[in-house]
């Protein structure tokens, strides 16, 4: 069939090398099998993709039943996403076990649950430090007793986290990496392992927040990016290992949101502390002008991309907990969906060129 071969070669732009893009291969296959032109192939692929999105939308709206019997354990409920999720679950009548780092967090969450929802009875808030084996172990014992009536634990939500210092690696030491990893990486691992037995009883779910920084390592966010890459990898591993036990694992990849995690005053204080304790050699390499300009660019970046719609993340959490067909990964926020996720699929060399081009408009070290 020479005509088909010629047409297929044209559709695929065949040379002595294999085509680089799977999309072109797909168009060629469609042409060869269905005798479609390239334009027709593109049209039908777009239609198929739209039908997929519509079908997924309706399938994902299906919710599990008996929410009042589905116990949920959430870490980091003092503020932000964890607090919002705890209140949303309570609104839907779900039993909520909320781990808080401070007594103030417990009191304010309990008061808001009673006042705004009128459902303080389904809330059990307690002190918890995800960096402590002893604290997590005590919580696991507490849950083991209280979850008997629910047939185990329906979901653990690993929400507790910090960003660490927003500054270049030269201004950090190993302790900063250890501090951030102890909360963002070892915390979820420690917590998940402690309640795994209860999850197996209920054939439950592990829901963990990662970040777009688990896809793209951003300059100035070294400890945070390292910890989020790690926790994402952990979830990918246990997703396969726990499937035979009926446990599903879900990861959230939000962009930047205006929560206490990126409080501008906190970030500025941490940057100032890093500069203060940096070796004199590093200060001379970078210069005070670089330091001041870097502070300003950090605030400009956060003010440009950070969203105030934290309900988007809370809703994604809730969907992962209650949907009959939850996603394995959730991308949340315009910056995550339109900027960082597409960027993460580019070849590393092209990413480097883009970072280099962006660097032309960023502060430069004095000794560059």
| Cα dihedral 318, 321, 322, 324 in deg (nearest 10) | 130
Beta carbons within 8 Å of 329's beta carbon, 6+ residues apart:
250, 251, 252, 253
pLDDT tens digits, 192-244:
999 999 999 999 999 999 999 999 999 999 999 999 999 999 999 999 999 99
User: How many Cβ atoms sit within 10 Å of the Cβ of residue 259?
Assistant: 18
- For position 68, what pLDDT does the model report? 92
The question of whether 353 is a catalytic residue gets the answer: no
Cβ-contact 293, 363 below 8 angstroms: yes
Question: Rounded to whole angstroms, how far apart are CA atoms 236 and 91?
Answer: 31
The side-by-side arrangement of strands in the sheet containing 72-74 is 123-127, 96-100, 72-74, 155-158, 205-209, 248-254, 329-332
Give the global pTM: 0.83
Question: Cα–Cα distance between 259 and 332 in angstroms, integer?
Answer: 14
Could you give the CA distance from residue 17 to residue 3 in angstroms, rounded to a whole number?
A: 21
Low-confidence ranges of the chain (pLDDT < 50): 1-21
CB 30, CB 41: distance < 8 Å: yes
Q: Compute the Cα dihedral for 144, 150, 152, 154 and give only its sign.
A: negative
Domains of the chain in sequence order: 61-358 (3.40.50.720)
- Do you know the residue count of the chain? 368
> How far, rounded to the nearest angstrom, does the alpha carbon of residue 222 sit from its chain's CA centroid?
16
205-209 and 123-127 beta bridge pairing: unpaired
- Of 31, 44, 177, 224, the active-site residue reads 224
The closest of 181, 178, 179 to 189, measured between CA atoms, is 181
Judged by phi (left if over 0) then psi (alpha if -120 to 50, else beta), residue 152 lies in: left
How far CA 301 is from CA of 20, 37, 166, 258, 346, in Å, comes to: 35, 45, 11, 12, 22
For 126-175, write each residue's pLDDT tens digit. 999 999 999 999 999 999 999 999 999 999 999 999 999 999 999 999 99
Residue 13: per-residue pLDDT: 42
């Amino acid at each position: 069939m020479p005509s088909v071969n010629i047409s297929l070669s044209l559709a695929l732009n065949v040379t002595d090398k294999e085509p680089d893009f799977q999309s072109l291969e797909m168009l060629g296959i469609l042409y060869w099998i269905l005798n479609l032109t390239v334009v027709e192939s593109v049209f039908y692929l777009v239609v198929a993709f739209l039908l997929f999105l519509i079908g997924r939308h309706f399938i994902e709206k299906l919710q599990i039943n008996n929410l009042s019997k589905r116990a949920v354990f959430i870490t980091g409920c003092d503020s932000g996403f964890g607090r919002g999720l705890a209140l949303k679950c309570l609104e839907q009548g779900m039993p909520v076990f909320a781990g808080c780092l401070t007594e103030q967090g417990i009191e304010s969450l309990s008061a808001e649950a009673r006042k705004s929802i009128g459902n303080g009875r389904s809330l059990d808030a307690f002190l918890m430090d995800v960096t402590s084996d002893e604290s997590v172990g005590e919580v696991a014992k507490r849950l083991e007793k209280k979850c008997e009536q629910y047939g185990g634990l329906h979901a653990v939500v690993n929400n507790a986290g910090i960003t660490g210092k927003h500054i270049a690696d030269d201004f950090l030491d190993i302790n900063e990496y250890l501090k951030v990893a102890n909360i963002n990486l070892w915390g979820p691992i420690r917590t998940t392992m402690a309640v795994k037995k209860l999850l197996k009883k209920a054939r439950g779910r592990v829901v963990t927040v990662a970040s777009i920084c688990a896809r793209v390592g951003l300059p100035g966010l070294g400890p945070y990016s390292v910890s989020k890459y790690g926790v994402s990898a952990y979830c990918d591993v246990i997703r396969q290992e726990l499937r035979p036990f009926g446990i599903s694992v879900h990861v959230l990849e939000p962009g930047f949101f205006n929560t206490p995690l990126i409080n501008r005053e906190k970030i500025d204080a941490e940057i100032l502390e890093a500069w203060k304790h940096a070796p004199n050699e590093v200060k001379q390499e970078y210069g005070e002008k670089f330091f001041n300009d870097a502070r300003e660019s950090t605030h400009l970046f956060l003010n440009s991309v950070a969203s105030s719609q934290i309900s988007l993340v809370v809703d994604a959490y809730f969907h992962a907990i209650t949907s009959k067909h939850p996603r394995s990964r959730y991308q949340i926020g315009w910056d995550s969906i339109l900027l960082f996720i597409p960027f993460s699929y580019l070849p590393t060399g092209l990413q480097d060129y883009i970072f280099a081009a962006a660097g032309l408009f960023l502060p430069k070290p004095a000794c560059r």
